[in-house]
Amino acid sequence: MIGRVAITDISPTIYFGGEFTPVKAIVNEEILVSATVAGEGHDYPVVHVITRDSKGKELSRIAAIERSPGTDRYEAPIALPKLGRFTFEIAAAIVTQYRTVTTNSPQFPVYVERERALVGAWYEFFPRSEGASINKDGTYASGNFGTAVKRLKAVKSMGFDVLYIPPIHPIGISHRKGPNNTLTAGPNDPGVPWGIGNSDGGHDAISPALGTMKDFEKFVKEANKLDLEIALDLALQTSPDHPWVKEHPKWFNYRTDGTIAYAENPPKKYQDIYPINFDDDFDGLVAEVYRICELWISKGVTIFRVDNPHTKPVIFWQTLISKVNAKYPEIVFLAEAFTKPAMMHALGKAGFQQSYTYFTWRTTKHELTEYGNEVSHQTSAFFRPNFWVNTPDILPFHLQSGNPAMFALRAVLASTLTPSWGMYAGYELFEHRVLSEGREEYLDSEKYQIKVRDWDGAKQSLVPLVTKLNKIRNANRALQRLRNLHFHHTDNEAIIAYSKRDGENLVLVIVNLDPSNAQATVVHWNMDLLGLTGDSFVVDDQITGNSFSWNRDSFVSLDPRGDYNNVAHIAVVRIP
Q: Which sequence positions are flagged as catalytic? A: 307, 336
Alpha-carbon distance of 521 to 567, in angstroms, equals 13
Alpha-carbon distance of 243 to 283, in angstroms, equals 19
Q: How far does the chain reach from its first CA to its final CA, in angstroms? A: 48
Cα-based torsion angle of the residue sequence 311, 312, 313, 316 in order, rounded to the nearest 10 degrees: -150
User: What number of helices (H) and strands (E) belong to the chain?
Assistant: 11, 34
Strand partners, 373: none
Paired sense of beta strands 485-490 and 568-573, if any = unpaired
Instruction: Say how many C-beta atoms besides its own lie within 10 A of residue 2's C-beta.
Output: 10
CA distances from 444 to 171, 178, 293, 393, 451 (A): 19, 10, 32, 11, 8
- Where does residue 175 fall: left (phi above 0), alpha (psi -120 to 50 degrees), or beta otherwise? left
Question: Of 122, 124, 208, whose CA–CA distance to 168 is shortest?
Answer: 208
User: Prior bond to 106 cis, omega within 30?
Assistant: no
Q: What angle do CA 252, 258, 264 make, to 5 degrees?
A: 55
Question: Of 361, 353, 307, whose CA–CA distance to 330 is shortest?
Answer: 353
Alpha-carbon distance of 275 to 294, in angstroms, equals 22
